[in-house]
Chain A
Amino acid sequence: MQKHFILVAISIAFLISCQKESNNNVDNYIESGSALIVNEGGYTRNNGSISYISRDNQVVNNIFEKSNNGQIVGDVLQSFTRVGNIGIICANNSQKVIFVDARTFKQVGEITTGTDYPRFALGVTTDKAYITNGSSSGTVLVVNMKTFAVTKTINVGDGPEEMLLSNGKVFVANSGGFGTDNKISVITTTTDAVVSSITVADNPGEMEKDAQGYLWVLCKGNVTYPAPTYAPVRLSAAKLVRINPSTNTIDRQIEIIPSTADYSAADNLAVSGDGSKLFVCVDDKVYQLSYTATALPATPVISRLFYGLDVHPFTGEIWGLDAGNFNEAGKIIRYNSNAQAVDSFKVGIIPNAVYFNL
């Protein structure tokens, strides 16, 4: 009897340990349809992390730490981008850009100079990437993806954030950083030089490309915090601006928050895989727009506060990122394409973005 008990106990222990191991045993983080979650972590706490969600919904947290002998990835992770088999992580309060082998997540390189406020990366070719940097006067760093060296620095507007590549040109949204800007810088990838500038609305930060190839820019509008209350006050409207990338001209503007409105936030622009639907968070609600829309719908599809939002390119699921109380693990809440909640996953601390492996 005692022997049986011991055998059962050993078997249970073995099964438990196997279950744990299966979560950690991912050796390829680029499986098509899988996702990488950027968890920015608490400010000054050095607890940013990357979570991996496989196509069959296995969640592995802290994949960088697991692949690098416990080495911490950094403080306030801003973004992750993959260029070929190299992953680029921007850690803005650590003031560094980390390069990893995207399959194993082992660190292979790092840039720590000229990166005082790194934001987003964009693969121009498999050998070249752009990285936006700066909270005021901004730059775009041109990086050799073989040597991980900065080969050129391009001056752009203030607080450059997201970039999009279209027709051999890279469009850079100058968000104003901690101030105000209202321009999109256009860089030609052949010479890595700014060739044009498009004036949009105040504080453009996020961009998506729709089914017709138009660029949609989320301009959050200018918001200040004046004395004596320091409560936020909106000075200009928040808009969705559509740009024709061939002509570098504005094609359409949708006002989503009027300048006269009581303060509310516009955030998190996302697009469906086929480019036919746009999603944007306004005043803690998620709105869905057709790429042909000319106005913000009256009714949101989801009424919930999200810290980040994205749409699965294959399934059309809406992934809402809930940062909770910003001390605990955040959650991914998945909604089907009809905006019905399906399930959720616990990830790292303060999840802010999703990168889907194509």
Chain B
Amino acid sequence: MEILNNPSCCKHTILSHPELVEGTKDGTELYNHCLRLANGKVSVKCESEDLPEFNSLKSALRKHLRYMQTKSNYILSCLFFVLSAKYTCAQQPIDSVQQIDTVKILSHKEENGAQCLVAVYKTPDVTAFYSRSDVGEALQQFTSVQINSYGLGNTSSISVRGANDDHTNVYWNGLKINSLTLGGTDMSLIPFESGDEIVVETNNTSLGGAVNINSKPNWRNKFDLKVRSDISSFDNYRNSLSFKIGNSKIQFHTTAFYHNAKNNFTYTDVYKFNNPIDTANHNALKSAGTVNTVFIQLKKQVFISIGSWYQQKDKELPAIMGSNGESSKFQKDKSIRHFINIDKTISKGDMHLALAHSYDEMKYTDKRMPTDTFLFINTHYITNRISNSFFINTNFKYHLSLQTGYFYNINMADVKEYVKKVTDHIGEVFANLKWKQEQFAASVKITQPFSSFKYVRPQFFAEAGFETKKQEKKYAVNISYSDKYRFPDLNDRYWNPGGNPNLKPEFGWTVNLSNGFHTYKNRHSFQTNVSLYYSNIKNNIVWTPVTNVIWSPKNLKSTRLYGIESDAIYSFTQSDKFYVYLKAIYNFNRAQITEDANNADLNGHYLRYKPQHTFKTNFYIEQKYAGIGFNYNYTSTRFTDEENIDFFELKPYHLLDVYLTFKGTIKEQHQLQFIFKINNITNTSYESVRSYAQPQRYYSLSFIYNFLKLHK
């Protein structure tokens, strides 16, 4: 697992595959590369979530679905590997801050067809020490993104820089995987095995930001087998198997996982009189899935990647805290996704063609009372998304290049509440002119969105950057302006009753100023990044009652988001003997209502679930075969209603996880690793989403076996 820090791109990336960064050049060079060639900006930040807002039962359902999770059937069989091996410990090579191939990311994002080089700094498998099952957990721990979770194994939503979850786009190899019906993304449904790297960025046309989960080949790989088994408190078992095989022309990756958990943890119920200790019942989950990818490198500079992702998850949904009854809510989610991406180098640049499809199904049922014989809520969503994009990048004289292209999505939904099956067409055409010199870079981009239902004016993006280098020290600065917009989601437009086909898109703009500094000397590496941003969003869509039983969405609000994102990373490596890694992230964010067409009293109030301060620290120290580390997370007060009533705010919390690692090798190619982790060691009682219990102290044990063979 790698952490990618791209100071100039301002992207925080997590690489789950160390092989990607092996055998590389000097890290300093990589950094320079990045500074010169990156065209993004960014970082990550606080999330919050739109919590369910209901009144009538119908509205309750409509909004609640945003945060529900699913349960599903299991098609994949359980993979549980108990490996016992006699091994001899040997010194484990530690190649932190060792440089290797730069990873060229051809961005397939619909709003940004640009290329970007990302520097890779290899660290020990830091993120792996976090007993993780999904991408959301890792993002929360190692980036400035804010994840709001409905409890262990339950739905979680993402927010970047204080924007709502439906303002943040999530892509898998260029395919947008946000819910078509609700707009947001349930991060708990994205397993860690879904990609090789995760890049979080904010400099695009989505209102909040974007998370890109990408699959990457290592052309030197001959055979790579990895088996991982995690056992945690509350009968929580997660097993995964992955192998990668290939040569310099073709690489095949496959991974499968199975997760089974009761998650019947105890917690302090602060909503009950005298705050008794309660147990989270009806909280079990089962999920299974497989992700397969083939990478082919043809002659004539053609690179093809083809992938598929199948997954099911069945989930019991627990009762809220304070409730004295049992829950009978279930959710089942199923996803099938495919993509094919073709990249070709041409005489004066390169081109990219992508075609992808996703099928998503969600069933949510609630009997309300376990003894009821009828389903109080029974909802079934089926959606399909077909995505196509193309762009061509041409280099000209005078350090100029022009990128032009389009993306096009066909969105289809079969939802009984829509009355009929619906199909929407949306897309963009764009042109991006870039200028890059030794120390300066600038670009201007014009995008024209189109849709089958609303016109959106052309979107404008501009940025300029400067970087300087003196021996081992580098400094970079970048300033940008970006228009942003979001089309209403399908529920907003088609839900019956109440859907509003006349909704306008949400739109806004962001200005961003980023600074990055890096120094690297004598095995010591230090880098720091600071970004200031200001965003304004208008036409926010809000569901409001039009009668006592019918709600309808309207463009009612304007909001502003501003703040500072900062991080600092220090690492020290002494060959294979000693390694230290320390990362600190601090974010300040203000997310406020600037105008509410229905209630002027709300002007200036803070948005729900947006902490003003977050502070995260990751520390790890390792000597030879053993290491110790911790992850610390501070999240400040969050309001849970727009009135900002202090009695209902969520209190700040501090979370500390501590872990120990032991590792060794057998005949150099067989690597074994054990991780023992104490989660929430201070036994803190806290809430991420109001009313939903989180586990206090619990334990996890992970076992990882890796067999790796590289081509010479």
Contacts and interface: CB of A to CB of B under 8 A. Distances in A.
A14 interface: no
Nearest to B643: A329
Contact of A346 (B601, B648, B691): B601
B708 to A, nearest CB: 47
A350 B324 CA distance: 22
Contact of A305 (B60, B416, B547, B691): B547
B77 interface: no
A346 B320 CA distance: 28
B643 A328 contact: yes
Contact of A350 (B55, B321, B372, B416): B55
Given A75-B322, A265-B547, A323-B545, A70 B647 contact: yes
Nearest to A113: B324
B346 interface: no
Given A70-B647, A325-B599, A328-B599, A43 B416 contact: no
Contact of B58 (A49, A225, A265, A326): A225
A227 B416 CA distance: 8
B641 A327 contact: yes
Contact of A231 (B320, B324, B496, B643): B496
Contacts of A75: 271, 320, 322-323, 691
A231 B273 contact: no
A61 to B, nearest CB: 8
Interface string A330-354: 0000000000000000101110000
Interface in B533-569: 542-545, 547-550, 556
Interface in B44-83: 51-55, 58-60, 64
B416 A325 contact: no
A260 interface: no
B128 interface: no
Contacts of B550: 232
Nearest to A283: B547
A267 B647 CA distance: 31
B598 interface: yes
Given A43-B52, A178-B376, A328-B642, A230 B271 contact: no
B402 interface: no
A115 B53 contact: no
A113 B323 CA distance: 11
Contacts of B59: 326
A95 B323 CA distance: 6
The size bracket of the interface on B is: 35 or more
Given A62-B645, A74-B322, A329-B643, A45 B599 contact: no
B542 A325 contact: yes
A47 B640 CA distance: 9
Size bracket, chain A contacts: 35 or more
A95 B271 CA distance: 12
A107 interface: yes
Contacts, number: 147
A95 B542 CA distance: 30
Given A72-B271, A325-B598, A326-B545, A44 B64 contact: yes
Nearest to A326: B55
B270 interface: yes
Given A43-B54, A116-B369, A326-B54, A72 B270 contact: yes
A135 interface: yes
B158 to A, nearest CB: 20
Interface string A95-125: 1101000000001001011011100000000
Contact of B497 (A43, A61, A232): A232
Given A110-B273, A325-B545, A72 B369 contact: no
Contacts of B496: 229-231
A324 interface: yes
Contacts of B547: 264-265, 283-284, 305
Nearest to A93: B323
A144 interface: no
B273 A47 contact: no
Q: In this complex, which of A42, A70, A71, A225 has the most chain B Cβ atoms within 10 angstroms of its Cβ?
A: A42
Contacts of A348: 645
B32 to A, nearest CB: 49
A178 B416 CA distance: 20
Given A231-B497, A323-B545, A46 B598 contact: no
Contacts of B601: 328-329, 346
A305 B64 contact: no
Contacts of B549: 232, 265
B224 interface: no
Interface in A289-306: 305
A44 B55 contact: no
Nearest to B648: A47
B641 A47 contact: yes
Contacts of B417: 230
B545 A96 contact: no
B602 interface: yes
Contacts of B544: 325-326
Contacts of B640: 45, 47
A93 B321 CA distance: 10
Contacts of B60: 43
Nearest to B557: A325
B393 to A, nearest CB: 46
B352 to A, nearest CB: 42
Contact of A135 (B52, B368, B542): B368
Given A74-B271, A284-B548, A328 B641 contact: yes
Nearest to A112: B324
B52 A329 contact: no
A78 interface: no
Contact of A42 (B53, B270, B323): B53
Interface string B356-383: 0000000000001100100010000000
A230 B647 contact: no
Nearest to A42: B53
Contacts of A265: 547-549
B164 to A, nearest CB: 13
A258 B136 CA distance: 53
B647 A62 contact: yes
Contacts of B51: 42, 45
Nearest to A265: B548
A305 B52 contact: no
Contacts of B458: none
Interface in A132-153: 135-136
B313 interface: no
B320 A305 contact: no
Contacts of A47: 640-641, 645, 647-648, 690
B419 interface: yes
A323 B550 CA distance: 14
B623 to A, nearest CB: 47
Given A74-B322, A328-B599, A42 B273 contact: no
A65 interface: yes
Interface in B321-340: 321-325
Interface string B265-298: 0000011010000000000000000000000000
Contact of B54 (A42, A107, A267): A42
In the A-B complex, the 9 residue pairs with the smallest Cβ-Cβ separation, listed nearest first, are A112-B324, A95-B324, A95-B325, A329-B643, A47-B648, A65-B647, A326-B55, A325-B544, A46-B691
17 contacts: A46-B322, A47-B647, A47-B648, A61-B645, A62-B647, A72-B647, A94-B271, A94-B324, A95-B323, A98-B273, A113-B324, A116-B325, A135-B368, A323-B545, A325-B598, A326-B53, A328-B599
Interface of A: 42-47, 49, 61-62, 65, 70-72, 74-75, 93-96, 98, 107, 110, 112-113, 115-117, 135-136, 178, 225, 227-232, 264-265, 267, 283-284, 305, 307, 323-329, 346, 348-350
Given A231-B496, A232-B497, 17 more contacts: A45-B690, A46-B322, A47-B647, A49-B647, A62-B647, A72-B271, A113-B324, A135-B369, A225-B58, A227-B416, A230-B58, A230-B497, A325-B598, A326-B54, A326-B544, A328-B641, A329-B643
